[in-house]
């Protein structure tokens, strides 16, 4: 095979008028036709993208697209394969004795893609833009507002941050992508990453080329050509017919493709945590015995293998399995009808009657009147998660086996959000988009806006606020997380089911990362040697 020239090298080596003509021709060329310009060290990929019109990483609108911007932009901090914060654009970081002030010292010699040197002012400007967006509830990195009290540059290479959260988790909040100060609101700002934006036609294609001035090394894969598709059917068909070398997808149909000699199926973990929320203020669910009984009636093996076809990462708590943050308990969610019956009997739901639907339903006497154990069960669908209704129906059918009757109703996301906020539900299948920082306080602290279960525990509040959020080293932080997860398991305010997985279908292995996760799905593509 004759090596193909890169588009960028063609443009650089041609006279200006010819270069402009070539640019125009390329802009009119179908995306598939661009593949001929790839070098033999390039890779041709496909993803779903229908609404992204700019690449600014602070305001993404599509999940898969973030895997591309992650290759163009870098943060002060990155998370390694063990999910631990490590220096990236900064060469080191330090904190004051009281933990309220952090210092980040930038590496020397780092430049943006346009050759401009990276300075502390760029970091400050980016953080301030994130905070501005957060005031309006916008942007990917909104939680930064909970961590940063002030941020400034003490000199060109030193960033000084004051924080109200004096704990180890603060470092996770500092992994936001750093943009050039003058371009923080630009549609396509320059970055410092391994690749720069060569061409971009929204909804059609994108070409990323290796940044030869990258501070780490020259990327092994010199170009990444990406075709955009509007449906998963089109995306996977393009892979089947070898129109692309690799695709990223969260479609469950990707489970049918198994790794072989010439093709690979690489799972990646998304940030989407699927849960069964239980309204702890509902009279039927106020008793922890009932909530635990419901947990025992969820057949996880059935849901994972027969609904999601393995495209999930099981979890028993809000933390991420396989990382240092996850508890070390032998306890694990299991399907156990006998234990569920025992717990429901212990909660006083120890008699049965026939409901209007003809089902045998548990009853008890409340204020002198017979009450049936009947629950309102809501579920909302998403474009890329059309099986959630099936999950709800399977859980409902299982609960009926022990006398818990549910009315499953499919509603819109907006309707679900309103019901959760108002507390007008009993059960609800809902997903959380988990933040980088391992801190489940958003869903567990009494009165927090995302505590949709109305769970209240002074012990849990104290563990999070007085122990976790005051732990300054990893060991103390991990111990607090373990205690929080143990209490979570005992109190069972909600059931954590699994993190959704996506799949990379590829004919070329391009990463040796052990923890392939969102949004750094393509992490390692710049250094991997085939």
Top-confidence residue, 17 or 454: 454
Measured CA to CA, the distance from residue 61 to residue 417 in angstroms comes to 19
- Inform me whether the pLDDT recorded for 1 exceeds 50: no
| Mean pLDDT, residues 449-455 | 97
CB atoms within 10 A of CB 408: 17
Torsion, Cα 129 130 135 136, to 10 degrees, reads 90
Radius of gyration of the chain (CA): 26
| Mean pLDDT, residues 51-70 | 96
Please answer whether residues 81 and 515 qualify as being in contact, where contact means their C-beta atoms are separated by less than 8 angstroms: yes
| Mean pLDDT, residues 386-405 | 96
pTM of the model: 0.90
At residue 530 the predicted structure's pLDDT band, cuts being 50, 70 and 90, is: low
pLDDT in tens, 104-152: 999 999 999 999 999 999 999 999 999 999 999 999 999 999 999 999 9
| Mean pLDDT, residues 210-218 | 94
Please answer whether residues 501 and 312 qualify as being in contact, where contact means their C-beta atoms are separated by less than 8 angstroms: yes
* Three-state secondary structure call for residue 4: coil
> Which two structure tokens, joined as six digits, stand for 381?
């669908």
At residue 334 the predicted structure's pLDDT band, cuts being 50, 70 and 90, is: very high
460-478 burial, b if ≥16 CB within 10 A, otherwise e?
A: bbebbeebbbebeeeeebb
| Alpha helices (runs of H) in 119-171, residue ranges in sequence order | 120-135
- Inform me whether the pLDDT recorded for 385 exceeds 70: no
Please give the pLDDT value at position 88.
98
Measured CA to CA, the distance from residue 486 to residue 297 in angstroms comes to 20
CATH 3.90.1520.10 fits 77-183, yes or no: no
- Inform me whether the pLDDT recorded for 228 exceeds 70: yes
At residue 19 the predicted structure's pLDDT band, cuts being 50, 70 and 90, is: very low
Residue with tokens 């019109």: 53
Quick one: which of 311, 356, 295, 358 has its CA closest to 490?
295
Please give the pLDDT value at position 118.
98
At residue 156 the predicted structure's pLDDT band, cuts being 50, 70 and 90, is: very high
SS3 assignment for 193-260:
CCEEEEEEECCCEEEEEECCCCCCCCCCCCEEEEEEECCHHHHHHHHHCCCCCEEEECCHHHHHCCCC
Please give the pLDDT value at position 34.
57
Measured CA to CA, the distance from residue 14 to residue 463 in angstroms comes to 64
> Which two structure tokens, joined as six digits, stand for 149?
């009290």
For 270-501, CATH number out of 3.20.20.10, 1.10.10.10, 3.90.320.10, 3.10.105.10 equals 3.10.105.10
Please give the pLDDT value at position 22.
42
Cis bond upstream, residue 519 (ω within 30): yes
Please give the pLDDT value at position 527.
81
Please give the pLDDT value at position 37.
53
Domain ranges of the chain: 77-183, 270-501
Measured CA to CA, the distance from residue 372 to residue 360 in angstroms comes to 10
Quick one: which of 32, 35, 505, 63 has its CA closest to 248?
505
């Amino acid at each position: 095979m004759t090596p193909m020239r890169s588009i960028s090298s063609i443009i650089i080596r041609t006279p200006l008028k010819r270069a402009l003509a070539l640019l125009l021709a390329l802009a009119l060329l179908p995306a598939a036709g661009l593949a001929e310009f790839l070098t033999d060290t390039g890779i041709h990929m496909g993803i779903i993208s229908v609404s992204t019109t700019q690449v600014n990483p602070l305001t993404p609108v599509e999940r898969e697209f973030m895997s591309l911007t992650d290759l163009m932009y870098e943060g002060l901090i990155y998370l390694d394969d063990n999910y631990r914060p490590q220096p990236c654009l900064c060469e080191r970081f330090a904190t004051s004795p009281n933990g309220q002030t952090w210092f980040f010292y930038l590496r020397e010699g780092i430049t943006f893609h346009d050759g401009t040197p990276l300075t502390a002012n760029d970091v400050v400007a980016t953080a301030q833009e994130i905070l501005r967006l957060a005031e309006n509830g916008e942007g990917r990195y909104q939680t930064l507002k909970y961590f940063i009290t002030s941020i400034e540059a003490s000199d060109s290479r030193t960033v000084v941050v004051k924080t109200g959260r004096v704990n180890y988790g603060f470092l996770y909040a500092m992994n936001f992508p750093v943009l050039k100060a003058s371009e923080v609101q630009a549609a396509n700002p320059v970055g410092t990453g391994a690749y720069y934006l060569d061409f971009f036609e929204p909804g059609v294609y994108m070409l990323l080329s290796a940044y030869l001035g990258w501070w780490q090394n020259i990327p092994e894969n010199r170009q990444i050509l990406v075709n955009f598709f509007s449906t998963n059917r089109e995306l996977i068909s393009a892979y089947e017919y070898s129109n692309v070398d690799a695709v990223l997808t969260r479609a469950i149909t990707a489970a049918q493709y198994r790794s072989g000699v010439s093709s690979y199926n690489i799972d990646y973990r998304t940030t989407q945590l699927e849960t069964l929320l239980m309204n702890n203020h509902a009279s039927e669910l106020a008793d922890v015995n009932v909530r635990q009984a419901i947990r025992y009636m969820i057949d996880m093996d059935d849901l994972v293998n027969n609904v999601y076809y393995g495209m999930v990462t099981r979890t028993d708590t809000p933390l991420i399995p396989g990382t240092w943050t996850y508890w070390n308990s032998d306890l694990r969610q299991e399907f156990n009808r006998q234990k569920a019956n025992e717990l429901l009997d212990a909660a006083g739901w120890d008699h049965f009657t026939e409901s209007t639907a003809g089902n045998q339903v548990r009853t008890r006497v409340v204020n002198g009147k017979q009450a049936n154990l009947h629950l309102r069960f809501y579920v909302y669908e998403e474009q890329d998660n059309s099986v959630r209704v099936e999950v709800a129906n399977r859980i409902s059918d299982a609960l009926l086996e022990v006398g818990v009757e549910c009315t499953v109703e499919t509603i819109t996301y907006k309707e679900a959000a309103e019901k959760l906020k108002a507390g007008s539900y009993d059960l609800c299948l809902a997903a959380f988009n988990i933040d980088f920082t391992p801190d489940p306080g958003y869903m567990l602290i009494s009165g927090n806006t995302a505590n949709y279960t109305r769970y209240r525990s002074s012990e849990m509040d104290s563990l999070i606020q007085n122990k976790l959020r005051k732990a300054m080293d990893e060991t103390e932080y991990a111990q607090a997380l373990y205690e929080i997860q143990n209490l979570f398991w005992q109190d069972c305010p909600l059931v954590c089911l699994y993190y959704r997985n996506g799949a990379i279908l590829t004919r070329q292995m391009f990463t040796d990362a052990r923890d392939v996760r969102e949004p750094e799905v393509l992490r390692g593509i710049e250094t991997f040697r085939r």
